[in-house]
Amino acid sequence: MLGKLIKHETRATSRIFLPLYGALLILTIFTKLVMAIGAPDFFSEAASNNNNVAEIILGISFTLYFVLIIGICVMTLVMIIQRFYKNLFTDEGYLMFSLPVKTWELVLSKLLVGMIWSAVCTVMIVLTFFIFSLGAFSMMELSQTIRSAYSMFYLQTGMELNLFMAELIIFILVETVASILMIYVSIAIGQLFNQHRIVAAFGAYIVITIAMQIIMSIAMAVFAIGNLENMVLNGSEAMTTVQWLINGSTALNVVLGIGFYYVTHTIMKKRLNLE
């Protein structure tokens, strides 16, 4: 049943995102063509006066590109909030909770689809950057640059770049999951109130954020004081400190994510208060 929930949720949200990503891809290709054909010296101080029209078009295209990027990122966040709240805590919740599914499946389906669209958003942004960079360097130059970066990183830190990148990616994934679950638990807490639920949910989010910031600030201050010398004087030991920070933050986010999920699940299962 979880698969069916994910499939339905993906179909419902793809109607919003697929046109946006299609527009972003088309706009990126168009902008790249204008850069390559009409205004190759757009970023140069010695740009030709004969390219004024092309430069104007390129300026408009870049403006639309950044607006669309921001819009897609904001829409992803809005979708995560709106789909969870509207489907589970408004009139639609009566239908959702009448389905032969468990509460954890409802929460997990929303979480996974939110993660999917967050990942797609990131991939699309990276893809557009790659399209813009086409022609700026050859694949051989790119390969040499990557190999040089790996070698330099190892010489400076004594650590393989692949390992560091893997730890960083895991941190980002866990951080994203914890952030989404924090939104969910705030909404769940907000629905405990009979009135002004959205305000209550926002207030719960602010309180949780402040509490987390205080805890993180204290932990970071204690950790930094104890490792300040390593961070300043020794490259390999500094990287070890950075690893501890990343992995420690990952572990903390795992704990917080589990806590957020547990509270959300408990409220939905035992204290559900639909409109």
Q: Please spell the DSSP secondary structure of 85-132, one letter per residue.
A: HHHHHSTHHHHHTTSS--HHHHHHHHHHHHHHHHHHHHHHHHHHHHHH
Name the token pair of 171. Answer: 């941190």
pTM of this prediction?
0.83
- In one letter, which amino acid is 73? C
Q: What is the pLDDT of residue 137?
A: 62
Tokens of 50: 């004969």
Q: How many residues are present in the chain?
A: 275
pLDDT along the chain (275 residues), means of 10: 86 90 91 73 48 74 90 91 88 81 89 92 91 71 75 76 87 92 93 87 93 81 61 59 83 92 91 72
Quick one: pLDDT at residue 46?
46
Please list the residues that pair with 137 across neighbouring strands: 134
Query: Which two structure tokens, joined as six digits, stand for 213?
Result: 């910031």
Summary count for the chain: helices (H), strands (E): 8, 0
Q: b/e map of 66-103 (b: 16 or more CB within 10 Å)? A: eebbeebeebbbebbbebbbebbbeeebeeeeeeeeeb
Q: Which SS3 state, helix, strand or coil, does residue 24 take? A: helix
